[in-house]
Amino acid sequence: MLSKSVLFAASLALVISTSYAIFSDCGSLDGSIVSVEISKCATDAKRCILRRNTNATMKITFKSNKESDNLKAVVHGVIMRAAIPFPLPNPDGCKDSGIQCPIQPGSSYSYVTSMPVLSAYPRVTVDIKWELQDSEGKDIICAIIPAKIV
């Protein structure tokens, strides 16, 4: 059996490695965001600091107000008011994200994905616009996550 100190240390490591990200809602039409968590995100109270050459895991917990057979992730990097599309390796929010589709109204879901922060990315201050869209292309949720790639 594990000692209490080992369990405490393991719990503390999990809390330190995952932090709640600062975010703002950018127009969630058919749902509401409960929380946004990003692993390896050091926050300076204004931005999530993401280190290049690492992987970050993101978890968005949300409540849906609408039924949808599909869920699609759409991501943009917003730099100086210009939204630059960010292609995802798997934009299907019903596949490998922890969500079982169809999405039901009144239910809560946790969307989980891993994203590489490549060493080729420039050191830049960016707002990450993350949308989860329904089968009609409307935002169930839309989050702006202030970030800085270092």
In whole angstroms, how far apart are CA 51 and each of 98, 108, 118? 25, 30, 9
Residue 140 inside a domain? The answer is: yes
pLDDT digits (tens, 9 = 90+) for 44-74: 768 999 999 999 999 999 999 999 999 999 9
Residue 83 inside a domain? The answer is: yes
What confidence category does residue 11 fall into, taking pLDDT thresholds of 50, 70 and 90? Answer: very low
pLDDT digits (tens, 9 = 90+) for 94-115: 998 999 999 999 999 999 999 8
The length of the chain in residues reads 150
Residue 91 inside a domain? The answer is: yes
Residue 96 inside a domain? The answer is: yes
CA distance 65 to 75: 21
Residue 40 inside a domain? The answer is: yes
pTM summary value? 0.82
CATH number of the domain at 47, please: 2.60.40.770
Domain count of the chain?
1
Residue 99 inside a domain? The answer is: yes
| Geometric angle at alpha carbon 44, from 42 and 45, rounded to 5° | 115
CA distance 23 to 82: 18
Provide the residue range defining the domain that includes 41. Answer: 20-149
Structure token pair of residue 100? 């079982």
Residue 13 inside a domain? The answer is: no
Residue 9 inside a domain? The answer is: no
CA distance 134 to 28: 11
> Listing from the earlier edge strand, what are the strands of the sheet with 54-64?
18-20, 31-39, 54-64, 108-117
